[in-house]
Amino acid sequence: MGNLIRQSLKPNKISSIKLIIMSVCILIVMKFLLNITIQFGAVISSILAVLSIAIGSLFCFILIYKNLSTFEYKLIDNELILERALGKANHVVYTIKKDQLLEIVPYHDYHQDRKIARLNHLVINNDKSKWYVISFMNKYKKSQLVIEPDEHFLSGILALNH
């Protein structure tokens, strides 16, 4: 077995009370919007009610998703493995070999001609000064991931890139 550099990112625990308060606030906003839509008639009100429930559910999922995802970065010899885990069943793993790696740049230096999808942000903090963008070739197309490496892991990736 060769060299192994590893870093784990775990979000801060979110209290149950905070989750309940956020959920209740979303329900209050949905109830307010549904009261406004009642004046439009039964069919339109029903459609708007379904849409507001779907949007409220999506918003709750985003709040919970952001606070439950954990990230694991591994650098094994000439291979970079980045993993996002949400619970026990939902894992997304990116494996990048040395020859696939194009560049790693600080997030604020990245020329943002194309926005990086939020699902490709493997970070837990909102401090963009600690973020880095990894560009790599993924099945004939260029892909980007945003990561938040510590100094030790960053030096390993930079050594891999050269």
Look up the CATH number of the domain holding residue 84: 2.30.29
Residues 64 and 75 in one domain: no
pLDDT at 1 over 60: no
Residues 120 and 149 in one domain: yes
Pairing of strands 141-147, 121-122: parallel
- Domain that residue 125 falls in: 4-8+71-161
Tens digits of per-residue pLDDT, 109-141? 887 667 787 778 888 888 888 899 998 888 888
Residues 32 and 85 in one domain: no
Mean pLDDT of the chain, nearest integer: 80
Structural domains of the chain, count? 2
- pTM over 0.85? The answer is no
The secondary structure element, H or E, covering residue 156 is: helix 151-161
The answer to whether 53 and 26 are in contact (CB under 8 A) is: no
Residues 94 and 143 in one domain: yes
What is d(CA 22, CA 129) in angstroms, rounded to the nearest whole number? 28
Residues 37 and 111 in one domain: no
The answer to whether 9 and 153 are in contact (CB under 8 A) is: no
What is d(CA 132, CA 58) in angstroms, rounded to the nearest whole number? 28
Please name the residue ranges forming H helices in 38-96.
42-68
